[in-house]
Structure 1
Amino acid sequence: MKDITIVICSYNYERFLREAIDSALAQEPDRTVVVVIDDGSTDGSRAIIESYGDRIVPVIKENGGQASAYNLGLEMADTPYLLYLDSDDVLYEGAVAQVLRAFESGNYAKVQFRLSVIDGEGVRTGARVPNSTPPAGCGELLRRGWLYPSPPASGNAYRVSALRQILPVPKAKGRGIAADFFAIYGIALLGDVMAIEEELGGYRVHRKESGAAPATNREVGLSIANCQDISEVVHAFPHRWAALRQLVSERLGEELPERAIDFSYEKAHLCMRVYDATLWKRWQWILCDSRQYFRSIVANPFWTVGKKVSAIALTLVCLVPSRRISDQAVLYIANPLARGAQGARS
């Protein structure tokens, strides 16, 4: 029996798929099973998957969305640990070896590691996610509503026995329900989370090239997520939290707070209200609607005092009369990737 299953979930990402598979196959081959789930792709993904023969476990299925791929990957896992790798991301050399050593050092429900933010060509941008390290006791903080700092999907490995208490993901209700959201945060209620400081993989930021409307400069500048603008973050997050609360109540018998506290969500509100806004609208936001935003900074259990002071100071720059300076401050708050681009335009 091997130790960890890497489940690559893919849909129409033939441009990146081979790089993802190769990075997974390079990880401790004697201890790793690589499962590639194609979720009904209509591009050349299937031919790429078939070219690997028995080096991987291929699964070709009808399109059912991320939740169906996550559920099937967990169902297939016959190892103590599991890592979901998005097909546009990569693992760096030695990533799984470090993850397995971390699991073996304690009874952890999840081991997470930082991801380098890379561009469409795989070049490191200099940014990384997450920027903060979660403290011990993530579960207790989550029970108070605080979402702990976590990398995107590809930076998380799970103890399968714990993950099966959270998944399978229920059929999505409402908008923007992401399967990885359930796994990343629900797992913290079932055991300790171990955070590796090193960047062990690449999180690729790009825009879909086919069938998608061109992204505006505002969308590219303000959002680090792929093909998702700030307004979608704001609208989707409450649905995700409500769905997680329901799942935790039904499966674990626990009640999470009605409202979550998350700086990423609050800064999305800031962007919608302040970016490219008149001076009056910017002051109106800070005087009337900024309470939750500043609470997510001042009471943040994951940030140092220095980081809190810096965030507040940078936010106050948004109130200067110059819209150009205000917008630059918003870009620095919202998305580290925008900083280089902003400097290049100046």
Structure 2
Amino acid sequence: MERPTFSVLINNYNYGRFVERAIDSALSQEASNVEIIVVDDGSSDQSRSVLDGYNKRVTVLFQENQGQAAAINAAVKLSSGDILCFLDADDWWAPGKLSATAAAFHSNPQASLVYHRLQPTQTDGSPAFKPIPRTLCSGNLSPRLARSAGWWPFPMTSAIAVRRSAWDAAGDIPEQFRMSADAW
């Protein structure tokens, strides 16, 4: 079996009312060789019944509540793709997200991380405020991170894609990041 190019990794905790849209947005991407893994981090809402409906199309891991970092780390361990794409269960992707991500990595084989802005929306789909982060960085981010003491316009979880080789070199997210693991 051919190794998936993309691993879409969805972390969920009590977002049963949103997770279906997140999964459907990943399933509707026009990319080949994609696996979708959802880690449910001990939800006590209707998440399990929603996730059970995806049976063979999505790999689901149910674990005791340990926080966002533990859920993301567990998803990475289950995955086999060359590119790790993260998606929070209360977010969704526009069509073409994975093909644009593939193009960005393909055009720069040295890139370890690709990210984009997110458009926060109201429940009716209208923009809540301007896209975030306000600015995008490119090139070698290491010097910028060193100068900023870690305070840079970092992307939100659902906008991040990382080469597996970069993840493996950096290691798992420290599990004290029970929330806001995207900051790591």
TM norm. shorter chain > 0.5: yes
Per the TM alignment, residue 126 of structure 1 is displaced from its structure 2 partner at its CA by 4.7
Q: What do the CA deviations read for 1:179-200 (whole angstroms, capped 9, x no partner)?
A: 2211xxxxxxxxxxxxxxxxxx
CA distance in 1, matches of 2:124, 2:42: 25
CA distance in 1, matches of 2:179, 2:96: 32
Quick one: which of 149, 153, 156 aligns to 2:157? 153
CA distance in 1, matches of 2:147, 2:102: 30
Q: Does 1:77 align with 2:92?
A: no
Greater relative contact order, per chain length (Cα 8 Å cut-off, separation 6+): 2
Distance 1:29 1:104, change over 3 A: closer
Q: For residue 119 of structure 2, what is the aligned residue in structure 1?
A: 116
Find the residue that maps to 1:7 and give its secondary structure.
strand
Per the TM alignment, residue 97 of structure 1 is displaced from its structure 2 partner at its CA by 0.3
Per the TM alignment, residue 178 of structure 1 is displaced from its structure 2 partner at its CA by 3.3
User: Would you say the 8 A contact 1:35–1:58 is kept in 2?
Assistant: yes
Q: What do the CA deviations read for 1:284-303 (whole angstroms, capped 9, x no partner)?
A: xxxxxxxxxxxxxxxxxxxx
Per the TM alignment, residue 130 of structure 1 is displaced from its structure 2 partner at its CA by 1.3
Per the TM alignment, residue 77 of structure 1 is displaced from its structure 2 partner at its CA by 1.8
User: Would you say the 8 A contact 1:71–1:167 is kept in 2?
Assistant: no
Find the residue that maps to 1:9 and give its secondary structure.
strand
CA distance in 1, matches of 2:78, 2:164: 11
Find the residue that maps to 2:128 and give its secondary structure.
strand
Q: For residue 168 of structure 1, what is the aligned residue in structure 2?
A: 172
User: Would you say the 8 A contact 2:113–2:163 is kept in 1?
Assistant: yes
Amino acid at match of 1:144: R
Per the TM alignment, residue 148 of structure 1 is displaced from its structure 2 partner at its CA by 2.8
Find the residue that maps to 2:18 and give its secondary structure.
helix
Amino acid at match of 2:46: G
Per the TM alignment, residue 169 of structure 1 is displaced from its structure 2 partner at its CA by 2.2
CA distance in 1, matches of 2:166, 2:155: 19
CA distance in 1, matches of 2:139, 2:48: 42
CA distance in 2, matches of 1:177, 1:6: 19
Q: Report the structure number with the largest CA radius of gyration.
A: 1
Q: What do the CA deviations read for 1:99-154 (whole angstroms, capped 9, x no partner)?
A: 01111111211000111111234332352011112143321111223533232111
1:264-283 superposed matches below 5 A: none
Aligned length: 180
More helix by share: 1
User: Would you say the 8 A contact 1:110–1:159 is kept in 2?
Assistant: yes
CA distance in 1, matches of 2:139, 2:78: 31
The share of aligned pairs that are identical, in percent, is: 32
1:77-96 superposed matches below 5 A: 77-96=79-98
Q: For residue 143 of structure 1, what is the aligned residue in structure 2?
A: 146
Unaligned regions of 5+ residues in structure 2, if any? none
User: Would you say the 8 A contact 2:8–2:86 is kept in 1?
Assistant: yes
1:246-285 superposed matches below 5 A: none
CA distance in 2, matches of 1:104, 1:127: 29
